[in-house]
Amino acid sequence: MNNNLVLSIVIVTYKRINRVIDILEDLKLQSFKNFEVIIVSDGCKSAFDERLKKYSKIFSIQNIDTNLKNKYGLATARNIGLKASKCEYCILIDD
């Protein structure tokens, strides 16, 4: 993994692990690797953790469980991901 991260990719999801895995597979193919991935999931962190292990060897990745039970919506989940970002630039992706 590269310590010179310049881009945060924030993926917001609600129990759609297969869609997130598809996104991660696409990111894995990118030639540009100076990014971190922040997944903001609602109530399904444990299901994600096991499936994300292989991607943590490829790029910086963190999984945040909001535990909001979809109560506050997409905007709040996005803001949580942006606050966790370590980079100057961010991209928001919804599953």
Digit-coded pLDDT (tens) for 22-46: 999 999 999 998 999 999 987 666 6
Query: Residue ranges of the chain with pLDDT lower than 70?
Result: 1-3, 43-47, 68-72
The radius of gyration of the chain's CA atoms, rounded to the nearest angstrom, is 12
pLDDT at 46: 64
Tell me how far apart the alpha carbons of residues 23 and 18 are, in angstroms, rounded to a whole number: 9
pTM for the structure as a whole: 0.87
